[in-house]
Structure 1
Amino acid sequence: MSFVARRLAAFSTAIILLAASGSSALAQKKYDPGVTDTEIKIGNIMPYSGPASAYSVTGRTEAAYFRKINAEGGINGRKINFISYDDAYSPPKAVEQARRLVEGNEVFLIFGSVGTPSNTAIQKYMNVKRVPQLFVQTGATKWNDPQNFPWTIGWSPNYQNEARIYAKYILMEKPNARIGVLYQNDDYGKDYVKGLKDGLGDRAALMIIAEEAYEVSDPTIDSHIVKMKSLNADVFVDITTAKFAAQAIRKAAEIGWKPLHFLNNVSTSIGAVIRPAGVEKAQDIISVAYLMDALDPQWKDDPGMKAFDEFLAKDFPEGNRADSLVMAGYNMAQTLVQVLKQCGDNLSRESVMKQAANLKNFKTTNLLPGIKINTSPIDFAPIKQVQLRRFKGDRWELFGPTLSSEIGG
């Protein structure tokens, strides 16, 4: 072969190799709407106004966390563009905002939206559109249904199973209890009630002497508290959102009703519920936890708590350290970042759902010891363990072992 022929052959080989490597690089990058080489557009729906506005601080926390991530270079070089809209805790408004995000803003996915009613209202739309509805901020059982809703996944422990834990505790500690239940008249409240009844089993009809439902539009739940006291209920299962939980604690104290009080986890924030109600009125309330309480001194030297405090000081100074909803938003945002990191350059919506269903022993900075996040293609319930806690003095105190929220103990 002549010198010229050899050079031409080498040149041809180089072109082929270059073309192959180029096509390989192109194959590795896969984008759906909302993603470019420099940006990932994330949608969010929050009750910035209305009766559940206390929960909107999670959206503000997540926005601050994503700003922190962006300042550190983003995720694989891409900055998060976080677009958050208000639905006022109104399902029709949530549908409107979901359409605005998906069809108008063309977001890659919707993440961390608040409320069982609002997320229920958009669940079918998101699944028909095949747009991920990731880590919804509600523990309703329905989010763990990959067969029927493969584009929706929860984050926090299951409401029904949380209530089963309370039922088991009642059966052990107060087997002759007269139980009064107050619940929000929607899928969120009914999910807890079902779990409580399932946990009590054939004793439920005998033990539950009052089932009081309130509407989210009600100005007050005081009359329900008065009624349960009049029926001599000695156990109070309190399935209320933050505004009504504070009212319930205040009213019970005002009329001198002192039942064994179980408060659902979604309304245990010291900053948003307990302090507004009155710390002295909340003594001995029982709930569960899966995240560290920033006011619990046992975590003051924990690396995860130090990181949280640094985040508040540097990135979210307006955040209330006593509000556990800030802690929740901080840890939820970490979970989304982990999923996006696992996707690498394959930022298709299918890839996101695959990675969201492939979290193995992932631990955000502030999960309680022994609690980790695990998912699979047939398991869309990321957090499955909790620990009982009791309000004492000015803070929550953990007690007992880590419990599986999947089996009630």
Structure 2
Amino acid sequence: MTSRSRSAVRRPAIALITLSLLGAGLAACSKPADSNGGAQTQDTPGITGTSVKIGTHTPLTGPAAAGYSPISKAASAYFAYLNAKGGVNGRKIEYVVRDDGYNPATTSTVVRELVQQDKVFAIVNGLGTPTHSAVVDYLNQQKVPDLFVASGASLWNQPEKSPYTFGFNLDYVREGKILAHYLKEKNPDAKFCVLRQDDDFGADLTTGIKQVLGDLTAEQEYAVSNESLTAQIGALKAAGCTVNLLATVTPFTAIALGTAAKMSYPAQWAASSSGGDYPSLVGYLGEDIGPKLLEGLVAANYLPFDADDEWVELFRQINTEYNADAPFTGNTVYGMSMAYTFAEALSRAGDSPTRESIVEALRSGEVMSNGITPAGFSADNHDPFAGAGITVVSKGVQAYVDGQVFTTDAEGGPVEPFSGQAVPLSGEGVPAP
């Protein structure tokens, strides 16, 4: 099994993209210069002649903070880079980040503040399935673009119910199918089991897994309020599970592997992109034991990853110059990829962007993002990616396995090899209309 080289860089993940659609006539109209000195060209919240204000909710504190707080910092760094290059159509991006502690009640509060007090143009990359579920209806009722949700739940791909919401992460059902397909090919006689979060994330990934594997030997659930997975890992061991698929966010992937090690329970472990980033997991497990426990870990991913990839090289440069040379992980790639995708959508929304025009830009199918498979946004599809590659950790390096990029649907269709090309870097990562 050969793999394209790459020191662990990658993010699961989790991701979010929503925009405002049909709405009630926010037609562009000329106005005098605004208080910021720019010529305000329309009555669209968050838009001036010189800036675009957007916001997000994300865990900067609490149990999920260590795993995901670097995402918004990476996105902010890309926007600083973009602003230094002149922004998008002459407008610089103002990115307002609010801490929700991964608590749905707090998410509701901070999102309403962003919309009603900060008057943001859009909510971009709100993080988490349980948290964003608390605000998706509100944002659509207010006709606020809800872009690139940091989650792969199927909830974000409901164009009729939620016309302003678009996802960013690979749909969890697709991801589950791709992981299960690869593992079944490699381990045809295994006893397959699942450890999953007790929400739509865990349910959707498990749905995809079962479409490929059928009935599982065992399934175990946990709540994010848990501090221990001893009972769940013990049950998997007792059931004789030999391949365990994890619908877990990063902290709980680490807890699962650490708990299994304490129980002397060897198994093949496979994680979703939301919980399989090697550098982040080493951060939880520690440099002394992390590399040993993570050896052989299988994960799915859908964004540029290899060390010599041109997107990765650009993001490393941006990270050094605009993010204080913070640790470069999958979170870094994820945050910057998402931010680039927003800039691409904004560039296609016209010289005088409105909430409706950015939604229409996504519905047009012209926004490609920068994945290893091109984005497939359309009027009928609000999910970005249809495919993913498989990564394996070997001797401290997490890398894509050559030839293991697949596409599939979120229904019962087959998992098929992807024969196309990844989206190439152009324009120094600054999208042109």
CA deviations on 1:93-135 (whole Å, 9 max, x unpaired) are 1111111111111111100111011111101001111101000
Q: Please give the per-residue CA displacement for 1:198-235, whole angstroms capped at 9, x wherever unaligned.
A: 222xx31xxx2322111101112132112211221111
Whole-angstrom CA distance in 2 between matches of 1:342 and 1:211: 44
Aligned to 1:219: 227
Tell me the residue number matched to 2:304: 292
| Residue in 2 that maps onto 1:392 | 394
| Residue aligning to 2:111 | 98
Structure 1 contact 358–374 (Cα < 8 Å) conserved: no
CA contact (8 A) 1:268 1:274 kept: no
Residue 29 of structure 1, CA deviation: 4.3
Residue 38 of structure 1: aligned partner: 50
Confirm or deny that 1:252 pairs with 2:260.
Answer: yes
Distance 1:70 1:172 in 2: 46
CA distance in 1, matches of 2:201, 2:64: 13
Question: Would you say 1:271 and 2:261 are equivalent positions?
Answer: no
Q: Which AA in structure 2 matches 1:348?
A: T
Alpha-carbon distance in 2 for matches of 1:150, 1:346: 21
Could you tell me how far 1:170 is from its partner in structure 2? 4.0
1:335 to 314, 332, 341: 341
Task: State the identity %.
Answer: 28
Amino acid at match of 1:111: V
1:25, distance to aligned residue in structure 2 (A): 8.4
Q: Distance in 2 between matches of 1:83 and 1:58?
A: 13
Per-residue CA deviations over 1:318-341 (Å, capped at 9, x if unaligned) read 4211x2011100110000001111
Larger radius of gyration: 1
The residue that corresponds to 1:139 in the other structure is 152
Is contact 2:278-2:294 (8 Å) kept? Answer: no
Q: Extract unaligned runs of 5+ from structure 1.
A: 1-23
Q: Is the 8 A contact 2:299 2:392 kept in 1?
A: yes
TM-superposed deviation, 1:42: 0.2
One-letter amino acid of the structure 1 residue matched with residue 335 of structure 2: G
Q: 1:324 and 2:330 equivalent?
A: yes
Alpha-carbon contact 2:41-2:48 (below 8 Å) kept = no
In the alignment, what sits opposite 2:269?
261
Tell me whether 1:158 sits opposite 2:171 in the alignment.
yes
C-alpha distance 129-363 of structure 1, shift in aligned 2 (>3 A): closer
How many residue pairs get aligned? The number is 371
Whether contact under 8 Å (2:177, 2:212) holds in the other structure is yes
Deviation of residue 61 (structure 1)?
1.0
Q: Does 1:344 align with 2:344?
A: no
**1:404 counterpart (392, 403, 407):** 407
For residues 105-184 of structure 1, the aligned pairs below 5 Å read 105-184=118-197
Q: C-alpha separation between the residues in 2 aligned to 1:265 and 1:196?
A: 14
Q: Which of these residues, 231, 234, 237, is aligned with residue 229 of structure 1?
A: 237
Q: C-alpha deviations, 1:155-186, integer Å up to 9, x for none?
A: 12110111112332344343443222111111
Aligned mates of 1:222, 1:380 — CA distance in 2: 38
Counterpart amino acid of residue 128 in structure 1:
Q
| Contact residue 193 and residue 236 of structure 2 kept, 8 A | yes
- Contact 1:40–1:81 (8 Å) recurs in 2: yes
Report which stretch shifted further, 219-228 or 397-406.
397-406
- Within the candidate set 358, 362, 378, 1:356 is matched to 362
Q: Do the aligned residues in 2 keep the contact of 1:222 with 1:247 (CA within 8 Å)?
A: no
Choose the corresponding residue for 2:312, options 300, 305, 310. 305
Cα RMSD, aligned residues only: 2.0
**Greater RCO, CA 8 A, separation 6+:** 2
Conservation of the 8 A alpha-carbon contact between 1:112 and 1:137: yes
Q: Aligned letter for 1:373?
A: A
Q: Per the alignment, do residues 235 and 187 of structure 1 end up closer, same or farther by CA in structure 2, a change over 3 Å counting?
A: same
2:68 aligned residue: 55
Counterpart CA distance in 1 for 2:185 and 2:318 is 41
Q: Does 1:82 align with 2:84?
A: no
Gaps of 5+ in 2: 1-27, 32-39, 417-433
Distance 1:101 1:363 in 2: 25
Q: TM-score, normalised by structure 1?
A: 0.86
Q: When you count helix as a share of all residues, which structure comes out higher? A: 1
Alpha carbons 2:298, 2:393 under 8 Å: kept: yes
What is the letter of the counterpart of residue 317 of structure 2?
E
Question: Partners in 2 of 1:356 and 1:372 — Cα distance?
Answer: 13
- Residue 312 of structure 1 aligns with an amino acid whose one-letter code is N
Provide the C-alpha distance between the structure 2 equivalents of 1:83 and 1:144, rounded to a whole number of angstroms. Answer: 25
When structure 1 is superposed on structure 2, of 29-38 and 348-357 the one drifting more is 29-38
